[in-house]
Chain A
Amino acid sequence: MSGEGLRRLLSHRAVAVTLALLVAWGAFSAWSAWAGARKLTREELASARGGRMHLQVTLNFAPEAFHMMLLQSMGRLIEVKGETAYLMDVPVEEARRLARRYWVRDLAPWQGR
């Protein structure tokens, strides 16, 4: 596409806004992946047995019904103490996805109960 064609395409409000939203979403996803890898390291993920792990999930606040439901959908929610929830049998992929959530402060493997 020529420069003029591209400029004309970008002059459409819908195209420009959609592109801006996609760029913002891409940047946020990249940041989330980077932050998630720092919360739950490769070594910690490697401790999973049978593709599942027990997790201690610390939020920045006491979890609400929304967070409980989400955590329950990822594994067995054993208990919540203050800002920390204890989960068992979380698939590794779900653990990785959980670590990417910006409202999760920290994740750590837990010995389970």
Chain B
Amino acid sequence: MRVPRPGLGERLRSGRVLKGAIGLLLVLVAWQVSVPLVGLPEYFYPSALAVWRACLELIHKGILPVYVADSLGRYAAGVGLGTLIGVTLGLLISLHRGTARLLAPLINFLYAIVEVAWIPLFVIWWGYGLKVILVSLIYVVAFPVLYNTLVGIRTVPQVYLNAVRSLGGSRWQVIREVLVPAALPNIITGFRVGAGFAFRGLIFAEMIAAKTGLGYLIFEGTAHHQTARTIVGMICMGVLWLGIDNVYLKPFERATVERWGTVVAAEERG
């Protein structure tokens, strides 16, 4: 059953948007007022207005749109490939219980090693550039997706599999009709977790291995004492993630749970 969600109009009427905007405005005013009180140089603690001016300057000079586009392109490619690899490996591994049991500890182990630890090694292997960023993102995304695919398939009740088999269903039909749909909510959860990790991974990889992108902007801003630019990069990162999560990931997860899930979505539980 589809649970109706409050739309933007309803949220505007209920004052939630207004309260959020007031909260944000208060933070900005407090930030701006605190700068002369603290009395630190601008490169150390830039004001909200200085950050705003830096943002406008970066747009005026054509730097910010290119960096945002580059970061988003790398992010989309990394998340897409990572998801594809995670789901494919998850399905292949879970089809053989013995293999799944054998590889589960290794997968858990690799899942625990953050991509940050791998990046220096990736740089040695592939040098600086897009390849390192993509491999890092694929690594970050593939493991949560793989892990959740394994968990999702492991939790499918045996009775469903037996039912399809006893009706003459082939192995392919079992995968297509039972395993994938039943594991889909878990896969989507893994995807959302991976997509969140990937955003952080992207920024870190760009700091090390790129000459464009928001991570590079953050790093370069600090290196050249243009701290306001660093903060612009950080704010862009937050805004982009909020946009991606609210516009694409959350509704996608919600729709999947509604269509295929046997459990209620977290936000519906309150």
Contact = CB atoms under 8 A, between A and B. Distances in A.
A13 B62 CA distance: 29
A101 B248 contact: no
Question: What's the interface size class on B, roughly?
Answer: 10 to 19
A110 interface: no
Contacts of B62: 66-67, 101-103
A12 B2 CA distance: 13
Q: Which of B66, B211, B247, B251 has the most CB of A within 10 A?
A: B247
Nearest to A101: B62
Q: Which of B61, B246, B251 has the most CB of A within 10 A?
A: B61
Contact of A64 (B61, B246, B251, B252): B61
B60 A61 contact: yes
B63 interface: yes
Contacts of A17: 247
Nearest to B5: A13
Interface in A22-77: 60-61, 64, 66-67, 69
Contact of A66 (B60, B61, B246, B251): B61
A28 to B, nearest CB: 9
A14 B60 contact: no
A13 B251 contact: yes
Nearest to A102: B62
A103 B252 contact: no
User: At the interface, is chain B mostly helix, strand, loop or mixed?
Assistant: helix
Contacts of A67: 61-62
Nearest to B217: A66
A72 to B, nearest CB: 12
A66 B247 contact: no
A61 B248 contact: no
Given A60-B60, A61-B60, A103-B61, A14 B211 contact: no
Contacts of A66: 61-63, 66, 212
A23 to B, nearest CB: 15
A69 B211 contact: yes
B63 A14 contact: no
Contacts of B252: 14
B61 A14 contact: no
Interchain residue pairs A-B with the least CB separation, the first 6: A103-B62, A17-B247, A66-B63, A14-B248, A14-B247, A14-B251
23 contacts: A12-B251, A13-B246, A13-B247, A13-B251, A14-B247, A14-B248, A14-B251, A14-B252, A60-B60, A60-B61, A61-B60, A61-B61, A64-B61, A64-B63, A66-B61, A66-B63, A66-B66, A67-B61, A67-B62, A69-B211, A101-B62, A102-B62, A103-B61
Interface of B: 60-63, 66, 211-212, 246-248, 251-252
Interface of A: 12-14, 17, 60-61, 64, 66-67, 69, 101-103
Given A13-B247, A64-B63, 19 more contacts: A13-B246, A13-B251, A14-B248, A14-B251, A14-B252, A60-B60, A60-B61, A61-B60, A61-B61, A64-B61, A66-B61, A66-B63, A66-B66, A66-B212, A67-B61, A69-B211, A101-B62, A102-B62, A103-B60
